[in-house]
Amino acid sequence: MDNLEKKLNNLPQAKLRWSADLKIRIKLYTFIIQRRLQVFFGWGLANHHLGRRALALATLVLLIFGSTSWYAYANDSITQGNALYPLKRVVETVKKQTAFTPDAKVKTHEQLSERRLQEAVILSQQAPAEQTTEQRQEIKEHLQKSIDEAVSEISSAAQEVRAVDSKEVKRAAAERLEEKERRRVNYLEEIEKKAEERQDEELKEKIKGAKEAVKKYRELLREQPKREPAEENKKEDGTQEAAEQKTDGLKINNNEQRPERAIRRQSGQELEQKND
């Protein structure tokens, strides 16, 4: 190799700037993803004019549906009877299904019970003077249903705590109990005021049941850890029955929705009579 060839070999070699490199990569990866989507759907959607429109439309629909569902979920004023309420419940169901740990399950049930009570407060505050008889009846039903569902969620939280029988889960629930209970009781008292104003005895009964469920849940969380099995065996039958009765007490006012609970409750009442 002579001197000239060496000089030619030494001519400067430029390198692509990183910013330009990045731009090209972004474009390339966009094409790659577009092509993979095209293969995935198999319709040639990504390149076809109408296909692109369909994809854009589908994305838009998904965005609208997603944001509406989230709005419904996050909005406390959306109560039963509202057009967006089913969406709210769908998101809640998803949330329940995706709560995998026992603690997350308990938390979700607690949160949902609070939400139902909040909704009940909003329903109770709707002015009856502005409503027709049919509307009043409808709101009354929704209100009662909300309270029933709140009780049902508290019962589910209690069942979860009992089923797991984990000190950690119980302790975590006990730690947040005070604040949550205060809120629940406040909600119930607000509804109670309205029930008294309207002299709605049926509603008062529901509230009484709900308060009882809240109280039972507190007792459950403050209950001492279980004794050793040997010690447990020494307990008298009557004590066991009483314990069974206590757990059944959480399910009051939820009987309309779950007939099997009504039967259990009935058997609990029979036990009570026996004990007396």
Partner 1 sequence: MAKKPGFVFHYNQFKDKIYNYFWYRVGFDQKLAEDLTSEAWLKAWKNFDDFDDSRPFGPWIFTIARHHLINYYKIAGRETSLTDKEDFFPAAADGIEQRLELERIIKIINSLEAADKEALLLRFVEGLGNAEIAVLLGKEEGAVRTQVSRGLAKLRKLINQ
d(Cα 242, Cα 248) in Å, to the nearest integer?
10
Q: Is 36 in the site for partner 1 (CB under 8 A)?
A: yes
C-alpha to C-alpha distances, 160 to 100, 164, 187, 197, nearest whole angstrom: 12, 6, 24, 37
Question: How far apart, in Å, do the first and last CA atoms of the chain sit?
Answer: 114
Q: Is the C-alpha dihedral spanning 208, 209, 210, 216 positive or negative?
A: positive
Of 33, 39, 56, 64, the one binding partner 1 (CB under 8 A) is 39
Measure CA 133 to chain center.
Answer: 32
Kindly state whether residue 22 participates in binding partner 1, applying the rule CB under 8 A: no
Task: Draw the binding track, 102-141, toward partner 1 (x: CB under 8 A; -: no contact).
Answer: ----------------------------------------
For partner 1, give the closer residue by CB, 34 or 69.
34
CA-wise closest residue to 128 among 120, 117, 118, 138? 138
Under the binding rule (CB under 8 A), the answer on residue 42 touching partner 1 is: no
State yes or no: residue 13 binds partner 1 (CB under 8 A).
Answer: yes
What's the closest the beta carbon of residue 22 comes to partner 1, in angstroms?
11
15 binds partner 1 (CB under 8 A): yes
Kindly indicate which of the ranges 29-37, 106-114, 196-204, 245-253 contains the residues binding partner 1, using the contact rule CB under 8 A.
Answer: 29-37
Contact 103, 161 (CB under 8 A): no
- Only one of the segments 3-11, 145-153, 192-200, 221-229 lies at the binding site for partner 1 (rule: CB under 8 A); that segment is 3-11
Cβ neighbours of 93 (radius 10 Å): 10
- Contact residues: partner 1, CB under 8 A: 4-5, 7-17, 20-21, 23-25, 27-28, 31-32, 35-36, 39
